[in-house]
């Protein structure tokens, strides 16, 4: 750490200044690195952190076209859970929850992981059967999940309307108590600080426009808004845009990009003790530590790179929330925004080597990759360092779209898409 950095950090700690730019003056890209990571979201920064910490690889640049954490990492509703249906997913997401539990200590940065429980509501017979199937599958995998009656749902989450005459009657719910939320941008900042302290360069405002290859087909480096950067290995973690970036290296990915939107209310005193989700009505809600109600929607019906999301969808979401929680009808909404999520045909992610030697990709998290941040980053770093899959991410290679060994998590994604 330079003397300037140390003094700036000290001054910021004393004054409570949390401004990232003031703490870490902008890194200037060098012309060559061992590893270039495209995308400074939680996944890219976490990957750099684990590469440096666990594999001793520190000659790394994490490059972002915008500011770090400004993509989906800083736009999501921060729901963390591991109640997925299939064995492969349960292993991956539960590995992530294990890491979430120790992450603040690991990074010495408070990511505010809050184990407040995620309650997934059932409004019809299909929902009940599907939730109970998940509960059984989860228990067989050692993932906690249990069924609550409507009265038990109400006891766990008092603002819930369980009237049988409600438009969306609550027939029960699946509760994962170990699940919860975390502070999204703290995750990006924590990993960024941990990586930067180990020598990683984080380069913002630097779009990667092309991945270049050597005459033998292996990766040569990246063309960027600030010139060419040579690299032995390139890892792409550019949610929403990974297919475009990978296409420039001649690798086609089965991804579609959709806007996904969310909003927050004015802050109020603690009123909602847990996270509540309803896939059937396309809505999920929690209360942040600042007191805002955090509400999210399903994906837009049309592919787009707009970071806003359509009005009819958010209207539908808010209407559903008001029906399920009549107590919230008088709340005022503060702001809404969108992110771009990339979705695979089986709704499971891709963490993979590629046919191009030295090129790796971590993408396709769709609506659900925040919860996976530590687990995906940890196993992706292994894949890059050893040029082989980690046992946990091995089923998630892009090869599965050729072999047909899909991991069809459409129902478990918990968010309509």
Q: Candidates 23, 77, 176, 287: give the one binding ligand FAD (CB under 6 A).
A: 77
Q: Candidates 194, 339, 374, 389: give the one binding ligand FAD (CB under 6 A).
A: 339
414 binding partner (options ligand PYC, ligand FAD, none; Cβ < 5 to 8 Å by kind): ligand PYC
Of 121, 139, 141, nearest in space to 130 by CA: 121
Q: For the CB of residue 182, give the shortest distance to ligand PYC in the complex, in Å.
A: 12
117 binding partner (options ligand FAD, ligand PYC, none; Cβ < 5 to 8 Å by kind): none
d(CA 208, CA 70): 16
Binding residues for ligand PYC, per CB under 6 A?
A: 77, 79, 81, 284, 296, 367-368, 414-415
In the bound state with ligand FAD, the residue whose beta carbon lies nearer, of 72 and 393, is: 72
d(CA 138, CA 136): 5
In the bound state with ligand PYC, the residue whose beta carbon lies nearer, of 240 and 296, is: 296
Residue 139 φ/ψ region, left for φ over 0, alpha for ψ in the -120 to 50 degree band, beta for the rest:
alpha
Size of the site for ligand FAD (CB under 6 A): 40
Residues whose CB falls within 8 Å of the CB of residue 280, separated by 6 or more in sequence, listed in order: 121, 122, 123, 124, 127, 168
Q: For the CB of residue 215, give the shortest distance to ligand FAD in the complex, in Å.
A: 24
Of 77, 108, 102, nearest in space to 191 by CA: 108
Of 138, 80, 6, nearest in space to 274 by CA: 80
Say if residues 173 and 120 touch (Cβ distance below 8 Å). yes
241 binds ligand FAD (CB under 6 A): yes
Q: Which of residues 51-70 bind ligand FAD (CB under 6 A)?
A: 63-66, 70
Q: Which of residues 283-322 bind ligand FAD (CB under 6 A)?
A: 296
d(CA 140, CA 127): 20
Q: Candidates 238, 255, 359, 381: give the one binding ligand FAD (CB under 6 A).
A: 238
Q: For the CB of residue 14, give the shortest distance to ligand FAD in the complex, in Å.
A: 30
375 binds ligand FAD (CB under 6 A): no
70 binding partner (options ligand PYC, ligand FAD, none; Cβ < 5 to 8 Å by kind): ligand FAD
Taking each continuous run of H as one helix and of E as one strand, the counts in the chain are 11, 18
Residue 330: Cβ within 10 Å count: 7
- Block residue for tokens 């429980």: 117
Q: Name the site residues for ligand FAD (rule: CB under 6 A).
A: 38-44, 63-66, 70-73, 75-79, 207-208, 237-241, 245, 260-262, 296, 339, 341, 365, 367-371
């Amino acid at each position: 750490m330079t003397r300037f950095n140390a003094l700036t950090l000290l001054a910021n700690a004393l004054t409570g200044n949390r401004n990232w730019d003031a703490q870490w003056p902008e890194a200037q890209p060098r012309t060559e690195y061992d590893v270039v990571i495209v995308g400074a979201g939680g996944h890219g920064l976490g990957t750099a952190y684990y590469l440096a910490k666990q594999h001793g690889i520190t000659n790394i640049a994490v490059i972002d076209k915008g500011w770090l954490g400004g993509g989906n990492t800083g736009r999501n509703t921060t729901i963390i859970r591991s109640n997925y249906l299939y064995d492969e997913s349960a292993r991956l997401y539960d590995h992530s929850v294990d890491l979430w539990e120790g992450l603040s200590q690991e990074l010495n940065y408070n990511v505010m992981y809050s184990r407040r429980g995620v309650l997934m509501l059932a409004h019809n017979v299909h929902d009940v059967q599907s939730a109970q199937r998940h509960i059984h599958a989860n228990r067989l995998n050692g993932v906690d999940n249990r069924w609550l009656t409507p009265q038990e749902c109400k006891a766990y989450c008092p603002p819930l309307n369980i009237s049988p005459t409600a438009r969306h009657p609550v027939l029960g719910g699946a509760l994962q108590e170990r699940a919860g939320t975390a502070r999204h941008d703290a995750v990006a900042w924590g990993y960024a600080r941990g990586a930067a302290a180990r020598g990683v360069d984080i380069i913002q405002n630097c779009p990667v426009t092309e991945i270049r290859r050597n005459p033998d087909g292996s990766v040569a480096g990246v063309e960027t808004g600030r010139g060419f950067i040579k690299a032995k290995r390139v890892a792409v973690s550019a949610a929403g845009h990974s297919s475009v970036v990978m296409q420039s290296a001649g690798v086609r990915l089965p991804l579609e990009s959709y806007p996904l939107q969310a909003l927050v209310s004015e802050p109020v005193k603690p009123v909602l003790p847990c996270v509540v989700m309803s896939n059937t009505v396309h809505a999920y809600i929690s209360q942040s530590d600042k007191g805002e109600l955090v509400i999210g929607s399903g994906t837009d019906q049309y592919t787009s790179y707009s970071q806003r999301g359509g009005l009819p969808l958010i209207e539908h979401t808010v209407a559903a929330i008001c029906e399920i929680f009549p107590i919230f009808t008088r709340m005022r909404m503060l702001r809404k925004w969108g992110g771009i999520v990339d979705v695979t045909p089986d709704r499971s992610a891709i963490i993979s080597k590629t046919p191009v030697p030295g090129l790796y990709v971590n993408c396709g998290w769709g609506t659900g990759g925040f919860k996976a941040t530590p687990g995906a980053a940890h196993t992706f770093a292994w894949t890059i360092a050893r040029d082989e899959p980690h046992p946990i991410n091995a089923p998630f290679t892009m090869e599965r779209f050729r072999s047909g060994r899909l991991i069809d998590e459409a129902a478990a994604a918990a968010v309509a898409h």
